[in-house]
Structures are given as C-alpha cells and as structure tokens.
Amino acid sequence: MTRFFSYWRIRLIPNALLLVCSFALTVCCSEKGHAQTPPNVNGGVVILEVWFEGDTDSRMATGFLIDSDGLLVTADHVLRGVDQKPGEAYAPGQPPKKIVRLKIHTASEGDEAMEIPITGLKIAFGAPNDGNGIDVASVRIPLDSSQRSKFIPLDLALDLPVQGNGYWAAGPACPIDQRTETCFELKIPSATITTSTLGKKSYRVQADMIAGFSGGPLLNSAGLVIGVTSWGDHIGLTDAVHEATFTSVRSLIAFLSRADNMPQSIFLPTEQRSVS
C-alpha cells in the first residue's frame, strides 16, 4: 500500500507543478502581450487645433468620433476655451469663448488636416453655467462623402471599468509648442485607474500624457471608450501629465442621451469643404 501511494505521489506532484507553472507563464505572457499591444483606434481618435477670438495661436486637444455622421466628443473645457492658471482646478460653467477657427487632424501618417466651417456649428456643452455639469462636449462635424470614409467611429463601453491597469489613453505625440508634423500623430500610452469607479462621475488615471490629451478617450483592451480626459496635474501647457481626472463613460452616455446634445446630421457636397 505504501508503495502504491508513493508511486502516485511521484507521478502527480511533478504534473501538478507543471500545470501551475504553465498557468503562471500563460498569465504572465498574456499580460505582457496586452501591455505591449494598444487597441487600434486609427480613424476614431483625432487631434484638434482650436483658435479662439483674442488668441494669437491655436490650442491643441484631442477628440473622438462616435458615429459615421461626424459626431465628435471632446472635453467641455476644450471647446469652451477655458484658461487654466498653474495649479488651478477646472471650474465648470465659465462662459465659452468664441471659436474663430477649427482644424481636425486625422492623427495618422500622411495626416490630412481638415478645416471645419464655423458658421452654424452647434456645440453641446456638458458644463452649463450653474457649474453642475461634467467636462464633456459634443459637436457635429460636417463631412462630405469622401471624408466620411476616413473615419471609423469608436463604440462606448456599457460597463464601468474597474480600478487597476490594462487601459489606454490617447492623444498627440508631442506638445503643441513643438509644432512639427509628428505632433499630430497619435500616442496611446498604457493607463492605470487609481481610484474606485463605482457610482462616480469621474475617476483618476495615471498614464504618460501631455496637456493636449484633453478630450481624448480612455480605452479598454477592446478599444471601447470608458472615459474622457478632463484635467491633468500639470503646471503648464507643455508639461508632462502623469495623472489626470477622466469623466466616466456612464456620465458621457447620460450626457449623450439628451436629445439636444445630439446635433442633427450635416452632409456637405465635396466642393463646400476645404482641406489644408
């Protein structure tokens, strides 16, 4: 009998160890592979250049399309033209500045910057003057038939993310003060949610970002939007941002569920659009 149990101990223990090691190796490799492979959101995320009345130069930000008719989502403060002083938190509800020029960069190699006509452009702000809103905004970008084919809208996640890693931010590759062509290419750093997400309008996220990430999406591994970049912890427009507040996807969905935040589709003939 002793010899019988000794035989199975010799056979089973190595096999069990082999299974455990194999499982650990699989988990390790899959996590490592996940960390190295950001979701493909080309055609969905765009880099914005916004000129406001009284400004001498443009401001850089990020946005993303959520339907094939040019519905663009970004941060409220991006289209409102909020001026943030060093170390100051975003105060929603500030009266919007007048946009005098708007460009959209497709954030890919061979970038084609599209000049967006301002006349008649309707912006739905998420932070009304009472200051009780959220830092998101939507605007319907008029696209002709040839331009629509260049964009692949992003889908919104229906479930809240959980605290932890395995997420991705998206924004410009370099600060606007450098003003090179590569600044309008897309950077997708890995991101970690550092606070609880349950019942929250926003959550804190750590990632390798810059100020121009404002309005860009927070993504899960499937490329679904789980948040929108709001204010980061930085002291200047060109500083690196290591942690930022992101508006939750549920807040975004609630914002978009209101009919007045979903502007009607705009379709323009090709000859009415300009490309620079």
| Nearest CA among 38, 49, 44 for reference residue 183 | 49
Mean pLDDT, to the nearest integer, of 248-269? Answer: 73
> Residue 90: its pLDDT value, please?
55
Residue 20: pLDDT above 60? no
Percent of the chain with pLDDT over 70: 67
pLDDT tens per residue across span 84-127: 554 455 555 677 889 999 999 887 666 678 888 877 788 888 87
pTM: 0.78
Chain position carrying tokens 């975004």: 252
pLDDT at residue 31 above 60?
no
pLDDT at res. 188: 94
Average predicted confidence (pLDDT) for the chain:
76
Per 3-state DSSP, what percentage of the chain is helix, strand, and coil (rounded to 5)?
Answer: 25, 30, 45
Asked if residues 143 and 274 have their Cβ atoms less than 8 Å apart, the reply is no
pLDDT band at 246 (very low <50, low <70, confident <90, very high): very high
Greater model confidence, 232 or 139: 139
Q: What pLDDT is stored for residue 30 in this prediction?
A: 39
Q: Name the residue among 113, 5, 130, 124 with its Cα closest to residue 51.
A: 113
pLDDT at 165: 94
Judged by phi (left if over 0) then psi (alpha if -120 to 50, else beta), residue 65 lies in beta
Q: Is 60 helix (H, G, I), strand (E, B) or coil?
A: strand
Q: Where are the chain's structural domains?
A: 1-33, 38-276
pLDDT at 5: 42
Q: Return the minimum-mean-pLDDT range out of 3-17, 66-80, 163-177, 222-236.
A: 3-17
Q: What is the pLDDT of residue 24?
A: 46
Question: How close are the terminal C-alpha atoms of the chain, in Å?
Answer: 86
Query: Residue 220: is its pLDDT beyond 90?
Result: yes
pLDDT tops 90 at residue 184: no
Lowest-confidence segment of 42-46, 71-75, 91-95, 101-105 by average pLDDT: 91-95
Q: Domain 38-276, CATH 3.40.50.2000 — does that match?
A: no
109 or 71, which is more confident: 71
Q: Please report the beta strands in the chain, taking only residues with DSSP state E, as ranges in sequence order.
A: 45-52, 59-65, 71-74, 99-105, 114-115, 123-125, 137-140, 164-169, 171-172, 186-187, 190-193, 202-210, 217-219, 225-232, 240-248, 274-275
Instruction: Name which of 54-58, 80-84, 187-191 the model is least confident about.
Output: 80-84
